[in-house]
Structure 1
């Protein structure tokens, strides 16, 4: 039952029965492989069992933590509490946590958390990936038991219950009933704050000038009398709707570019159904990125195109650019990568969910469904920050009776898309598991490509607190290219660091440029050599683009290219963005 490439023959009836069974189990576990979890625990426990010194160290830590906790409980010490929450953990910020008995419950939880942090460190011989997974699963289990989740052990909930006479709990029950009903009927919740695409989200004016089965291409209307002669094409990630870059009018990166005199095009990906199950990663390159480049070239013939890719869009843009360089296609004037990875050896916390067992499990689920569903992807992202995205929200909504806060980015975050089975499998295996792109093993149309062939200058953005595309990983593009490269490290996370419009308080960035003759600098040395500059990185990018595209002295182009068979089809934001 094994094919020549080492993968199972999926048309065999026995294998089909096995896959159907695994797909059913995958739905019950939201795609998490029980085998992968069990293997991680077994590896960790077996190596710990053969390390008596490590066992004694952990026993000593447990006794020391217990002694600190007892001293704190008895009041024999007037020092600060012995255990403190992590800097990003805001569950215990209420002043009530500093008073007994709540302080004791908090300290007991933090003492257990401290012990598990130490226990999950790998013993000699343990696979570090398994140790990281054990640490993650231990943190998940502890977060379930946090005293902040219980009405009788959380001072903030008790205070609110007294203040409202229990009204918070009644309102929380109504919220819970609403959410259960919405989940059971698959009815999407109404967007908070009256946010709606086309009304106050994704409202930059323009026209859809091209549409195929994978994407719509939006050309944005000019807002200046003169424009730069060369266009900008934005390639967003297909895992979410494109309008993260055209969110509210005040933080729209697309609107900002248009206001600076750039002619901007943006791709809006389809939300695929099961009919797209056999669409591949290369289909997204050929019928997506390359088709968009072809269309922009017809609207503005003879001009270089400045392509910008965000997250997965940056990865597929890098693949397309390397393929174009290999084949002598020089249409790209520059390449901008926003929080996009090209090397996946340090791909961050998402690697906790990826190994052969996990990917095979996901493939069986996608084989059955035809795609990876929105809620199955969203669950993995929520798990990475469950204390904020799961438990803090649950406490606020169901026990404090609060409505979800209305933010444009939270509305966008809930508006995810599905991913075709074959494409997602290609992506996970070729890039995350095998890291073929930077190891000289990624082939396009039967021939290997290399990032070092790219000659167009690059502008690369990393964000300081990115847990999806860590900035050290994003920076590694400098190791595999030989072109002019400007790297920017900005404050914020994967999305917040990109949405860093001028005037946004508390923002800073670091910037440095490498020429083709410059020797490689490791990321930590680069960080030490480039001081922080206060403000937004957007003006830096606009100046850089202006230097590559030429002065804004040209008349704006027409919308679409009717003479080339590309008349405007409908107003922005198009139709694909509304697909559920």
Structure 2
């Protein structure tokens, strides 16, 4: 029946204890630190200064290294200009091989080599500090690239001459529009620069379905069947809470949800609510109990007690791994059982988190905690700025050159529009996640607790299908691979081409897609490099490979599709939460 009353999961009978990561300081301290965080974009100037102090002081007492750097610098200056660009796509055009632009490239490449040598391998520097210094040096160099300036970029000069200066005028207009959009008061509608708007429920997230359950934290969507018979086991997808769920249900041609439904699976999807400052005290336990466990109960009800194929993407996969460990341990008494667990670009060991770990230390988190304490949440734009910093060459400088110097706009697509549809993160949950998982690595080391009881990934006995992507800077594939050291379950591991998002949204028929796989075996542990050397490379999408794995872990006999919500629905997909700004 339509428009039924929303079922709300009651709060836990006893309030959760305050997080260990809660700032222990008075309001004046937090206020000042939050102002600093706003000014620096969340980057701790104290952490940065300590890293550079560690580096230069050790460099100062390394005269041999300093002599080598000086000789390298002098040798580079004396060398003739080279036409090679070192595979840097910014300098692919033949015009960069002509004088004087070849000189600019040579000087830039010399500076890159010098600073790479100067910031790596200095004896005595703490590894984290060395990584911070090297990363900062790369960012500053990319800012000064000759491709970023009018008079040193031959492509910009040629476009300006060919268009009679129109390209520069268009670039100035693009800059003005972007500035107005950034300075516009909250709530003011500012037209998008170019191309269509991808609206959930109209252009994306259009796979037919119904919201069958809702509480204060999430809506649960059941998608309408598209086959006469379906597999008995429902597929429950847990997306990350730092993104809107519809990255897995974009346009019809690249929707993972539609692909599964068309193959005869009953698919359920969590749609997380976009929290505000009133939700500041929602923690990881809330997301587990009122999110994953509540959804599993509904999937169990819908499937008539059949086991559930659970799928988690990014942090949703981390949360799902915690839930699976709790369920398989038998210590938590939750209803429902799992037929399989699929983790998509999800880390469970955070000891080597990649470049994102550069922003995770005690000083950085103290500043970030103060910022979230002040706001009640971490704003999506603030989080997006950190990811842009990791890829500043492509996401900042190359884009600015194209849009402001060449006067070109890139027409948005569904993935770009989703990426701009940011979400917020509650203060308590994000603080617990960063301190407990990223900083202390509690999950991998057996200290993470669910309802006061420790959980261990070694308790997972449910078959695992784990997907990583080759160029993932959020969940590096070797970090994802560490699940092999933590769980005793049978693990099928797949390494897909692409990055954190495009490698997962890898629809069949997409040109240039491939993946590497190697059947699970009982022959003992293989290192990541050994696994890679023995893996088979297949052209195309990994989706059909995974879907066949789901079939092998499903009952052979299919059944008639269950009624939508077993006759109780709350409204059509995509629901209300995904539309919240």
TM-score (structure 1 length as normaliser): 0.93
1:6: how far off? 9.2
Identify which of 255, 260, 273 aligns with 1:257.
Answer: 260
- 1:154 alignment partner in structure 2: 153
CA distance in 1, matches of 2:455, 2:298: 24
Distance 1:341 1:5, change over 3 A: closer
The answer to which of 197-206 and 471-480 deviates more is 197-206
Distance 1:166 1:29, change over 3 A: same
Unaligned 5+ runs, structure 2: 1-17
CA distance in 2, matches of 1:431, 1:448: 14
| Structure 1 residue 578 corresponds to structure 2 residue 579 | yes
2:241 match: secondary structure: coil
CA distance in 2, matches of 1:350, 1:417: 19
Identify which of 277, 294, 319 aligns with 1:274.
Answer: 277
Deviations 1:5-36 (A, max 9, x none): 797534xxxx2111101101111111111111
1:404: how far off? 2.5
Question: Is the 2:518–2:536 contact (alpha carbons within 8 Å) kept by the matching residues of 1?
Answer: no
CA distance in 1, matches of 2:111, 2:427: 40
2:518 match: secondary structure: strand
Identify which of 207, 214, 223 aligns with 2:226.
Answer: 223
Identify which of 76, 84, 87 aligns with 1:65.
Answer: 76
1:189: how far off? 5.5
| Structure 1 residue 9 corresponds to structure 2 residue 24 | yes
Distance 1:197 1:485, change over 3 A: same
1:202 match: secondary structure: coil
- 2:325 alignment partner in structure 1: 322
CA distance in 2, matches of 1:239, 1:138: 29
Question: Is the 2:236–2:269 contact (alpha carbons within 8 Å) kept by the matching residues of 1?
Answer: yes
Unaligned 5+ runs, structure 1: 73-79
Mapping of residues 191-270 of structure 1, within 5 Å = 192-194=194-196, 195-270=198-273
CA distance in 2, matches of 1:179, 1:109: 29
Question: Is the 1:191–1:411 contact (alpha carbons within 8 Å) kept by the matching residues of 2?
Answer: no
Mapping of residues 380-529 of structure 1, within 5 Å = 380-515=386-521, 517-529=522-534
Distance 1:212 1:132, change over 3 A: same
1:399: how far off? 1.3
Deviations 1:370-405 (A, max 9, x none): 111111100111111111100111111111111223
1:343 match: secondary structure: coil
CA distance in 2, matches of 1:46, 1:550: 64
- 1:292 alignment partner in structure 2: 295
- 2:6 alignment partner in structure 1: none
Deviations 1:343-385 (A, max 9, x none): 0111111001111000110000000001111111001111111
Question: Is the 1:192–1:411 contact (alpha carbons within 8 Å) kept by the matching residues of 2?
Answer: no
1:208 match: secondary structure: strand
- 2:138 alignment partner in structure 1: 139
2:421 match: secondary structure: coil
CA distance in 1, matches of 2:513, 2:48: 39
CA distance in 1, matches of 2:574, 2:173: 35
1:4: how far off? 12
Deviations 1:440-464 (A, max 9, x none): 1111111111101111100000111
2:125 match: secondary structure: coil
- 2:10 alignment partner in structure 1: none
CA distance in 2, matches of 1:477, 1:335: 12
Identify which of 558, 562, 568 aligns with 1:553.
Answer: 558
CA distance in 2, matches of 1:37, 1:434: 21
Identify which of 355, 360, 365 aligns with 2:366.
Answer: 360
CA distance in 2, matches of 1:133, 1:99: 35
CA distance in 1, matches of 2:563, 2:500: 35
1:193: how far off? 2.8
CA distance in 2, matches of 1:233, 1:457: 15
CA distance in 2, matches of 1:106, 1:201: 42
1:490: how far off? 1.1
CA distance in 2, matches of 1:62, 1:34: 30
CA distance in 2, matches of 1:92, 1:241: 36
| Structure 1 residue 304 corresponds to structure 2 residue 307 | yes
CA distance in 1, matches of 2:381, 2:91: 29
Deviations 1:204-252 (A, max 9, x none): 1101111111111110001111110110000001111111111111111
Distance 1:490 1:304, change over 3 A: same
- 1:123 alignment partner in structure 2: 122
2:151 match: secondary structure: coil
| Structure 1 residue 544 corresponds to structure 2 residue 545 | no
Deviations 1:243-288 (A, max 9, x none): 1111111111110000000000011111111111111011111111
1:196 match: secondary structure: coil
CA distance in 2, matches of 1:531, 1:540: 13
Aligned pair count reads: 557
